[in-house]
Amino acid sequence: MNKNIYQNLIKQSKDRCAEYDISEDQVFSKKMIDHSELQTKFSENRDLILTASPYMEHLMSIVRGNNFFVLLTDKDGCILNAIGDEKILTEAFELKMVAGAYMNEECIGTNAMSLVIKSEEPVQLSGKDHFIKAYHRWTCSGAPIKDPNGNLIGALDLTGYSDSVHPHTLGMVIAASNAIEEMLRVKEYNRLQNMTNKHIKTIFNSMPVAILTSDLDGRIKIYNQRAMDLFGNKYKQLSAANVSEIIEEWENIKEAIHSEKHVNRIINIKALRNHFHCQMTASPIYNPQDDSIEIVFVLKEDQSKKIVKSDQPYYTFDKIMGADKHFVSTIEYAKKISNNRSTVLILGESGCGKEVFAQAIHNHSKRMDEPFVALNCGAIPNQLIESELFGYEEGAYTGAKKGGNIGKFEQANNGTIMLDEIGEMPLDMQTRLLRVLQENVITRIGSQRSIAIDVRIIAATNKDLKKEVELGRFRKDLFYRLNVLPLYLPPLRERKSDIPLLYRYFMKNLSAKYEKKEYQIFDESMRILEDYSWPGNVRELENVVELIINTESFPSKYFIKNAEESQLEDINSIEKSALILTEERLEELDPAVLDMTHVEKEHIKRVLKLYKGNISQAACALGIQRNTLYSKINKYEIQV
């Protein structure tokens, strides 16, 4: 924006502030909405909040530690979300720059967000550019957020102290707002595509006749629900089948299609379960996507079979792999606590399989045929978690769906709900959850009616909740309500004997999934796997196996790069020692030290020290076989 135009824009804004009776000594916004109105705002701007949240976090990750905070407002200037460094964010909160406060010109005077809303252009204001004195300490960089139709729907603002803000800061905000707009466009496109696809699919699957298509060689391409019913309800076999396996005298029909184009006749069906007659209409169509001819079959038969669908979670205890005696005891304990209403608290590091155990517990209980609903408390913005958990009534706020919306607890009624990352739940929601645990009732947003529920709660966390209680970040009464049946999942490093078993399991399943051959590793490589600390636990091991399958090699460098910091410090000391040695004058050294065998011996000693005497890892790092390393240890009389 031209500098003169920019300054004129600020001047015009300040002139309007006098008309709005805004005082330079004003501290707080003139407009703050209550909890009910704020929930309406959250609902109306749900897509904007969810879409912007990761980009706000990314923006903060770039400037974190330099005293910045990020604000998201709607098109009217109402703050929807605020994150940032503790010191400066606390100052902002003291000025009541919180969710529900309005930052438009009429309520708080000239600022970046108010100018963005007025001009729909990116702006950066610093110091006395702001109308009220309370904001003179800051520089604010703001950019508009528009919907796919070009309409303003919000503003993004990055604020910091004036002495620490660079003109490039505005560029980062513009980039973030552009990314948010692009993601909103993608979501809208996908939404429309999904609606179209669902519409077509619904019509396709609702038709009372079986429809399928094939190429000229009879290979089946697509088919509808009725076709699955008619031909035996065996999805995988049908999807891989040829028309000749279903329709008798296929070759005659194929010739008729070539000559007559449209074929209408009674045919014999040799379905996967029985034989019967069908009225068939077959017509050729041209597919421009791959310049090919396809045949559309319409088949009608009187018999029908109902397809029964199941939403049962996948994992059961017999699918959990492990032979370590302590881990087997954990599985047996989990089985014992499965079939009752008491709350389970699963504790363990990330990647240990907390949701796997939660599903297995559900499938081992009397609730196995009822819903299993999993919710990651850390993945939902604080503003939306209440509606996600408890739902809302029709008319609860302006953007509420017709008929309202049920929450996760109602979805899980008579079944199980898993609250993953429970340690991330906001304190006010912890209070609501405590009421659910105590009274077995929930209340939707916008309703006074209590709804009785029967839900088994399984909570999970990778945090030390006792410590969180001591720090005031988790309610003590809720902790004891959840910790009725604690279940601790050991990290992979505490059950290393299971690593070969898990490796073979993942190798077999993933190689089949990706249609690749299984890769065999040497005993030395397996020992490296067993000696690795696995900070990412079972999930990391699965990823490593997938890496091995795709590269068809063992990633030795992966384990060296992921060495612990103490090992890296040892590497640095080795490099420094080598540097000192090269800087010494050769004539001052003992002749014995000049011999290559001495250099090799010292290098082997240092590498062994680096890997704490682990022969497999040391041999891998040296690029030699274990037997060769053992020979050199004996040769040089190295103490391991």
pLDDT at 168: 86
Asked if 630 and 541 count as a contact pair (C-beta separation under 8 A), the reply is no
pLDDT at site 565: 43
616 — phi, psi (to 5°)?
Answer: -60, -50
- What is the CATH class of 492-561? mainly alpha
Comma-separated ranges of CATH 3.30.450.40 domains in the chain? 3-188
Kind of pairing between the strands at 210-215 and 485-488: unpaired
Nearest residue to 333 via CA among 480, 325, 374, 420: 325
Mean of pLDDT values over 320-339:
93
Instruction: Give ranges for CATH 1.10.8.60 in the chain.
Output: 492-561
Four-point Cα dihedral 113, 114, 116, 118, nearest 10? 170
At 62, is the pLDDT very low, low, confident or very high (cuts 50, 70, 90)?
very high
**Rounded distance between C-alpha atoms, residue 180 and residue 157, angstroms:** 13
Q: Which of 85, 177, 75, 83 is nearest to 382 (CA)?
A: 83
Residue 549 is predicted with a pLDDT of 92
CATH number of this structure's domain 317-488: 3.40.50.300
For residue 404, pLDDT beyond 90: no
Cβ pair 281, 298 in contact under 8 A: yes
Q: What is the pLDDT of residue 602?
A: 84
Q: Where in the chain is the domain with CATH 3.40.50.300?
A: 317-488
- Chain centroid to CA 491: 21
Range(s) of the chain covered by CATH 3.30.450.20: 207-300
Encode pLDDT of 241-287 as tens digits: 688 887 877 888 888 877 767 888 888 776 544 456 788 888 888 76
Could you give the CA distance from residue 422 to residue 429 in angstroms, rounded to a whole number? Answer: 11
Per the CB < 8 A criterion, the answer to whether 284 and 293 are in contact is: yes
Looking at the predicted structure, is the pLDDT value of residue 47 above 60?
yes
pLDDT digits (tens, 9 = 90+) for 424-467: 998 888 998 998 899 999 988 888 888 899 999 999 999 999 99
Higher pLDDT, 217 or 499: 499
Give the DSSP letter string of 188-247.
HHHHHHHHHHHHHHHHHHHSSSEEEEEETT-BEEEE-HHHHHHTTS-HHHHHT-BGGGTB
Are 161 and 138 in contact, with CB atoms under 8 Å apart? Answer: yes
Within the chain, all domains assigned CATH 1.10.10.60 are found at: 565-636
Amino acid, single-letter form, for residue 14:
K
Percent of the chain with pLDDT over 90: 48
C-alpha–C-alpha distance, residues 371 and 414, integer Å? 7
Q: What are the C-alpha distances in Å from 47 to residues 52, 147, 312, 500?
A: 8, 11, 29, 45
* CATH 3.30.450.20 for the 207-300 domain, yes or no: yes
- pLDDT exceeds cutoff 50 at 352: yes
Q: Is the pLDDT of residue 172 over 80?
A: yes
Helix axes of 46-63 and 35-44: crossing angle, nearest 10 degrees: 90
Architecture per CATH, domain 3-188, reads as: 2-Layer Sandwich (3.30)
| Helix then strand then coil, % of the chain, to nearest 5 | 50, 20, 30
Across 357-361, 406-410, 585-589, 608-612, the highest mean pLDDT is recorded for 357-361
Q: What is the mean pLDDT of residues 299-328?
A: 72
Top CATH class of 565-636 equals mainly alpha
Query: For residues 511 and 549, what is the distance between their CA atoms, to the nearest angstrom?
Result: 7
- Residue 595 above 60 pLDDT? yes
363-372, 457-466, 542-551: lowest mean pLDDT where? 363-372
